[in-house]
Chain A
Amino acid sequence: MNKEELKLRLEEQLPPASFEDGAEWTTAIVDPAGWEGFARHLRSDAGLEFDYLFCVTAVDWRTYMTMVYHLTSTIHRHIMVVKVKLDRDRPEIPTVSHIWRTAEFHEREAFDLFGVVFSEHPDLRRLFMTDEWKGWPLRKDYEDPVNMIKL
Chain B
Amino acid sequence: MIQEVGTTEQGELVINLGPQHPSTHGVLHLVITLSGETIKKVEPHLGYIHRSIEKMCESLSYRQFIYVTSRMDYLSSHINNHGCALCVEKGMQIEVPARAKVIRVLMDELTRLASHQLWWGAMAMDVGALTPFFHAFREREAINDIMEETCGARLTMNYMVPGGVMADLHPDFPKKVKEFIRFFRTKIDEYDELVTGNVIFKSRMEGIGYLSAESAVSFGCTGPTARGSGVSCDIRKLYPYEVYGQLQFEEVTATGGDCFARYMVRMQEMRQSLSIIEQLIDNIPEGEFQAKTKAVLKLPKGEFYSRVETARGEFGVYIISEGGTTPYRIKFRSPGFSNLSALDHMARGYKIGDLVAIMGTLDLVIPDIDR
Residues of chain A touching chain B, judged by Cβ–Cβ distance below 8 Å, are 22-24, 51-55, 57, 59-60, 68, 70, 74, 77, 100-102, 104-106, 109, 113, 125, 127-131, 137-138, 151
A7 to B316 CA separation, bound complex (whole angstroms): 24
Nearest-Cβ distance from residue B69 to partner chain A, whole angstroms: 16
Q: Closest CB of chain A to B150's CB: distance in Å?
A: 32
Nearest 9 A-B pairs (CB), nearest first? A102-B220, A128-B47, A128-B50, A57-B331, A105-B341, A55-B333, A101-B218, A59-B329, A101-B219
Interface residues on B, range: 35 or more
Q: Are the C-beta atoms of A77 and B238 separated by less than 8 Å? A: yes
Encode B274-314 as 1/0 by CB contact (under 8 A) with A: 00000000000000000000000000001111000000001
CB neighbours of A106 from chain B (8 A): 337
* Any A CB within 8 A of the CB of B268: no
Contacts of A100 in B (CB 8 A): 218, 220
A70: which B residues are within 8 A, CB to CB? 305, 316, 318, 333
Q: Which residues of A contact B46 (CB under 8 A)?
A: 127-128
Given the known interface contacts A59-B320, A102-B220, A105-B341, the answer about A24 and B305 at a Cβ–Cβ threshold of 8 Å is yes
Q: Are A54 and B333 in contact (CB under 8 A)?
A: yes
Q: Which of B321-358 contact A (CB under 8 A)?
A: 328-329, 331, 333, 337-338, 340-341, 345
> Beyond the given A51-B218, A109-B337, could you list 11 further A-B residue pairs with CB under 8 A, ordered by the A residue number?
A52-B217, A54-B222, A54-B316, A70-B333, A100-B220, A102-B218, A102-B219, A102-B341, A105-B340, A128-B50, A131-B1
List 25 A-B residue pairs with CB atoms under 8 Å apart, sorted by A's residue number. A24-B305, A51-B214, A52-B217, A53-B220, A54-B222, A54-B316, A54-B333, A55-B305, A55-B331, A59-B329, A68-B318, A70-B305, A74-B217, A74-B232, A77-B238, A100-B218, A101-B215, A101-B220, A102-B338, A102-B341, A128-B46, A129-B47, A131-B1, A131-B2, A138-B54
